[in-house]
Amino acid sequence: MREKTILLTILVAFIALGFSGQDVYAQGQIIGQVIDARGNPVGGVDVAIQQIVRGDRPYTAQTETDRGGLFEFNRVPAGNYVIMARSDAGCARAEIEVQDREVTRIRLQLEGRGGDDRAVGAVVGIVQAPNGDPFGGAVVTLQHLDRNRGRHGRMLRTESDRRGMFYFVDIPVGNYIVTATVRGGIARARLEVIADQRNRVRLVLQRIERGDRGGRGLPPGRYFRE
């Protein structure tokens, strides 16, 4: 009887910790639809969210609309976000607020090139280990190569997901250096961003010599265009 009482007490304690954890990590949901200029739903559109924070590692996520133009993001940390949609039909951008345990609904209407004359594209990439397996949690930076000034321009930053995938949306055309860094590994590649295209890049991590910083200490950036 005493053993059953002890087990019951432990079980109740774990349940209490589980509920308290939900309160600490406030999360919400985003449900939306992407439509064209005539109001028709558009499928196959890349949709990305970027948390607006002062830190150097904001929450980011990416998905794609279904045939009905619908998309959703689950378990999104509460806060303010920039949400962006991009396809061959045009672009859309808005700011939203996600609240704890609530559903945020939004409709994004595509406009040609995001409603202005900027020539921009998207960057879609994957980070892989030396054996070819996807590598999640790598810090990925995108830095414009400013040939006119002979130096690198502003740096943007994100992190690869569990599938090793990473995304940069609404990026001005030009030549860039893409770098993935982890503890003890690094990968770099040059990439030309072409307007209105998904510019793809693959980064395979390589071993680095002892004493090499491996890209650590790079200044933080933001992966969406301000």
**Tally of domains in the chain:** 2
pLDDT at residue 45, rounded to an integer: 92
In terms of Cα–Cα distance, which of 139, 138, 119 is closest to 129?
138
Global pTM value = 0.50
Structure tokens at 195: 């307007």
Q: Could you report how far apart the first and last alpha carbons of the chain are, in Å? A: 64
Measured distance CA(5)–CA(172) in Å, rounded:
64
Measured distance CA(186)–CA(204) in Å, rounded:
8
Domain range spanning residue 95? 27-115
Is residue 165 domain-shared with residue 146, that is, in the same domain? yes
Is residue 131 domain-shared with residue 200, that is, in the same domain? yes
In terms of Cα–Cα distance, which of 142, 144, 84 is closest to 114?
84
215 belongs to a structural domain: no
127 belongs to a structural domain: yes
Q: Which region, left, alpha or beta, applies to residue 45 given φ > 0 means left and ψ of -120 to 50 means alpha?
A: beta
φ/ψ (deg, to 5) at 145: -95, 100
The pLDDT tens digits along the chain (226 residues) read 555 554 445 444 444 444 434 444 689 999 999 999 889 999 999 999 988 875 556 788 889 999 999 999 999 999 989 898 888 778 888 889 999 999 999 999 998 654 444 677 888 899 999 888 999 989 999 998 865 544 556 788 888 988 898 888 778 888 999 999 998 889 999 999 988 778 899 999 986 444 433 333 333 333 333 2
- The answer for residues whose C-beta is within 8 angstroms of residue 196's C-beta and 6 or more apart is 88, 113, 119, 120, 121
1 belongs to a structural domain: no
Is residue 95 domain-shared with residue 162, that is, in the same domain? no
Is residue 135 domain-shared with residue 84, that is, in the same domain? no
Find residue 156's DSSP bridge partners. 142
Is residue 131 domain-shared with residue 63, that is, in the same domain? no
